[in-house]
Amino acid sequence: MLDQGLKNQLSQLLDLMEGDVVFKVSTGTDETSQKMSDLVNEVAEMSPRITVEQTELKRSPSFSVNRPGENTGITFAGVPLGHEFNSFVLALLQVSGRAPKEEQSVIDQIKGINDTLHFETFVSLTCQKCPDVVQALNLMSVINPNITHTMIDGAVFKEEAEDIMAVPSIFLNGEQFGSGRMTVTDILSELGQGPDASEFEDKGLFDVLVVGGGPASASSAIYAARKGLHTGIVADRIGGQVNDTQDIENLISVKKTTGTTLATNLEEHIKDYNIDVMKGVLAESLNKTDDHIEITLNNGATLRTKTLIVSTGARWRQLGVPGEQEFANKGVAYCPHCDGPLFEDKDVAVVGGGNSGVEAAIDLAGICKSVTLLEFGAEMRADKVLQERLHSLSNTTVITNAATKEITGDDRVTGLTYEDMQSNVQKQLDLDGVFVQIGLSPNTEWLGDTVSRNKMGEIEVDRLGATNVPGIFAAGDCTDQRYKQIIISMGSGATAALSAFDYLIRN
Ligand code: FAD
């Protein structure tokens, strides 16, 4: 099942096992059961520490990863290959006793959960965001015996996954819990186990407080810390949109990386400096007093700082038409890389004819039966090379001058209504899914009336990253800088930090 290169890597990893592990396997007579057995047996044969037992689990084929005499609650339903192979290997190492890399405060929060929590995550093996969720929940299961987690490959358990239109889709005790990438911190915060306000009581007065956790924040904080300033970061998670990105090939000097790797590298780089990282919380409001700035967080804590760098980035922009909210994760999707495989052999539309829309349509055309791209304007705005590639595909159609009016359906998407802007006639498309690709909205609502923004909600900054409020700077995708890219966000983060330093030595 595994090629020689992978086996060599795996063999080195298996040497890191610290204790014995038992795979409990539940199989049927189908082909996938055979595949799963082959994988599990092949891995077991590579280490004397691993044994395999036959058992009956809720789903077949599936297997659980346990310590001898102790069930950890980690189960893989399907064959954890593709992007989930790492989750399998990591679970194996952690169950064997390898210490998790999480901070002690996070481990303590996980240990502090007394409720019985049964998580199930539907994944696709091509989804890049899914392993983060699977690995986070597996880790929680390893640490706390009250928690169990099953990864379910939607492509194998098709009937169960029939209503799942976006992966990862996470269920807790049978109820929908979340969707999209979630880290341990996100899950803890969703469970109401985020950091307590009391943990923030003695933070004192920061020189520079950075709000946000993306590339702009990382760069701002590192530049500020390198100036010897007392620096803090407040963020729900580190990485920002990079966490939702597949491959990155334009971070100059890094020929190719993945979003997950870059997000990890950003966090590692931040850790090299004396930066107070406050994860798992969001800034909720801002108050400027005569001599400092106060930020109130969603756990009720208040932080004080001499200067502030806002780098809260942006999120997928929504169409704002009837049906979009109602059918979110029931056919309305935003991430083609993640959710495309769920629309195999189905008819889908992509709304938006910019680069991201056309790239999405090309990507989906390889999976779906048909892809209809709707562009509001008279022409698509994507690069010519992308348009040519799209037109060369036989299962794609482009409709221009199309204003999306409604996404329709019953318990899931069945169609889309648009207005032909030339004839003013409303038309209907029969569809199984709609991918919205119309750009981004800045995360700036929490700023209230304090900081000037343009009509898109983007913070207005000058070329030094300064806003209209003295001492408050901004960087990255939340600002009115024209181009939204990682390298540009990092550059503007550096500018904002140096400007904050300059402000501090003059005031
Ligand atoms: P973000 O990355 O958006 O980070 C902001 C962070 O702040 C987030 O973690 C957010 O949750 C957090 N936050 C928001 N509100 C609050 C609050 N109130 N309190 C605390 N924290 C908050 N760019 C490239 O250069 N190359 C690419 O290949 C590329 N591909 C992309 C693919 C996709 C699918 C997407 C979505 C974007 C891509 N981009 C790419 C764009 C790039 O990711 C962004 O330009 C970049 O991440 C912006 O960085 P940022 O730090 O400004 O904001």
Average pLDDT over all residues of the chain:
93
* pLDDT attached to residue 104: 83
* pLDDT attached to residue 466: 98
Predicted TM-score (pTM) of the model is 0.76
pLDDT at 180 over 90: no
**What are the residues facing 411 on neighbouring strands?**
none
Ligand 1 atom at shortest distance from the alpha carbon of 215: 51
pLDDT at 274 over 80: yes
pLDDT at 5 over 80: yes
| Banded model confidence at residue 414, pLDDT cuts 50, 70, 90 | very high
Selecting among 127, 130, 335, 368, the annotated active-site residue is 335
| φ/ψ (deg, to 5) at 383 | -60, 145
* pLDDT attached to residue 397: 97
Q: Decide if 338 is catalytic.
A: yes
Q: Name the maximum alpha-carbon separation found in the chain.
A: 75
Ligand 1 atom at shortest distance from the alpha carbon of 234: 20
| Banded model confidence at residue 167, pLDDT cuts 50, 70, 90 | confident
**Least trusted range by pLDDT, from 76-90, 184-198, 261-275:** 184-198
Selecting among 339, 368, 432, 477, the annotated active-site residue is 339
Mean pLDDT in residue range 182-204: 87
More confident site: 316 or 35: 35
Mean pLDDT in residue range 207-226: 98
* pLDDT attached to residue 166: 78
pLDDT at 502 over 90: yes
Angle 288-293-298 (CA atoms, 0-180°, nearest 5)?
A: 100
Report yes or no: 407 and 322 within 8 Å, Cβ to Cβ.
yes
d(CA 264, ligand 1 centre) in Å: 14
Query: Alpha-carbon distance 137 to 223, whole Å?
Result: 34
Q: Could you tell me where the beta strands, DSSP code E, fall in 78-155?
A: 117-123, 147-153
CB-based pocket (< 6 A), ligand 1: 211-217, 234-237, 240-242, 244-245, 248, 250, 282-283, 311-314, 443, 446, 476-477, 484-487, 489
How many other C-beta atoms lie within 10 A of the C-beta of residue 448? 11
* pLDDT attached to residue 43: 96
Query: Alpha-carbon distance 90 to 93, whole Å?
Result: 5
Mean pLDDT in residue range 270-275: 97
**What are the residues facing 232 on neighbouring strands?**
209, 276
pLDDT in tens, 433-478: 999 999 889 999 999 999 999 999 999 999 999 999 999 999 999 9
* pLDDT attached to residue 338: 67
